[in-house]
Structure 1
């Protein structure tokens, strides 16, 4: 496993983003998907997640939609500074790891949309995201009465019930719902699928080349042990940024440059011609 610290500028919040460091034994992998995740665990941190305030996590994940962490992190920081209030980083009761999203939910439910859009402009799609965030804040307060009650719902109710409830909110998709379940609820067995995860597991041949995000998620959650899904998600994203990028994967110029080359089918990647296409196009 790498000695590098988990990046703080990402959706998981780095070492201060909840959860605890842990180690998993890669010697007993039963499926190909588990072997891939185990190899990623040797490259990056191994961690179980949970501990973030659910509403704060929901807002953070909405901001991350269709953009990079480099762009969404400043937007998140600006939003917290403007709307979070002094208690936004205070502990809730005896749990010192959870932020208090109560003031944030109330502030955002009353926020002027134009002002909020300006505040989060670095995240891109800021007009759309400001509408979604305000609607989400209103939904939390109307449906649960408070952000703390929403936090308890995410932590205590069944993952299926939480996911279904979150998906009822306009602008909240499967990846956003799953990130709340993982990073706030600490739910084992949840493997959120973003663009990196979707691309990489089809490119490797772990999932069918024509699989949509939900098919990839179902395959990974079926074949990767529950306790490994969380760090598998975050480590895959880091791997996608460093090695298996959309247009210039490391194997394109040097087959030995990618540490996962021996477990990858390179679907849609053609080093001999320099071409890189979506895996679904490679089998048409």
Structure 2
């Protein structure tokens, strides 16, 4: 498709790195999209950005994603920056620096991200694992980029503190793997509200539904654009359609599962009565 200017450039305060994180125009043809979920993601791309991901340092991406757990990008980004400032000194290998880091010092450095004692332990453990299993950041990066994505995912899930979303973010933003759709709280909520994933699905169920229905080259920006949509329009407590049925740019593609504009009420999609 022809490149077009992005109406809303991807924020830099974002697990993907935003505009600073790179990315190229995602190759897809709207006419080839045969699923409703694919059409939803195409609309989100029109609203925000249509790009592929990949090429970020795999270990730094792993650390950044651990920092983002249970907190916002606005809170975790400064913690990430502070960590790099303290531990990525010149040509020093970040893996070695964090594997040998003092727990309390690291916890203080990343305190702005919340749950800092837990995250300090997770990060130090992940660094020690990378050093023991791969020997260096470069070798870990090659593993994430070159090996079978399913094998990489299963390996990452064995690491303490690495859940499905964290593993998938490393595969997407570092490995550049197509067909990977990480599911965070925004994606879990919105995909079910829209009706493109089963209302009762857990995070893994939503991931499986989206990855099975959306063209692989669209999954990356589907993830980031859906998060942005969740921040701007379909928030957890104030979906835009409750204030004004015409306020949401996805209204014509949304099943509004669990959202009732006529009464101003909403429930979790899993609790919505079947129509």
**Class of the TM-score when normalised by the shorter of the 2 chains:** over 0.9
Counterpart CA distance in 2 for 1:223 and 1:72 is 31
2:110 paired with 1:124: no
Q: How many residues align?
A: 270
Counterpart CA distance in 2 for 1:18 and 1:253 is 36
Name the residue aligned to 1:168.
Answer: 158
1:203 aligned to which of 190, 193, 218: 193
After TM superposition, give the deviation of residue 69 of structure 1 in Å: 0.5
Cα deviation, 1:29-77, whole Å, max 9, x if unaligned, reads 2001000000001101111000100000000000001110000000000
Specify the SS of the correspondent of 2:181.
coil
Name the residue aligned to 1:43.
Answer: 47
Unaligned runs of 5+ in 1: 88-101
After TM superposition, give the deviation of residue 86 of structure 1 in Å: 1.7
After TM superposition, give the deviation of residue 27 of structure 1 in Å: 3.0
Superposed, 1:6-155 pairs within 5 Å as 6-22=10-26, 24-87=28-91, 103-155=93-145
Counterpart CA distance in 2 for 1:204 and 1:178 is 22
Name the residue aligned to 1:97.
Answer: none
Counterpart CA distance in 2 for 1:200 and 1:269 is 11
Name the residue aligned to 1:226.
Answer: 216
Name the residue aligned to 1:248.
Answer: 238
Specify the SS of the correspondent of 2:93.
helix
Structure 1 segments of 4 or more deviating over 6 A?
Answer: none
Counterpart CA distance in 2 for 1:135 and 1:276 is 41
Specify the SS of the correspondent of 1:52.
coil
After TM superposition, give the deviation of residue 4 of structure 1 in Å: 2.3
Counterpart CA distance in 2 for 1:45 and 1:148 is 30
Unaligned runs of 5+ in 2: none
2:248 paired with 1:258: yes
CA contact 2:8–2:47 (8 Å) conserved in 1? no
Cα deviation, 1:142-201, whole Å, max 9, x if unaligned, reads 011111100000000000110011000011000000000000000001000001110001
After TM superposition, give the deviation of residue 271 of structure 1 in Å: 1.4
CA contact 1:55–1:150 (8 Å) conserved in 2? yes
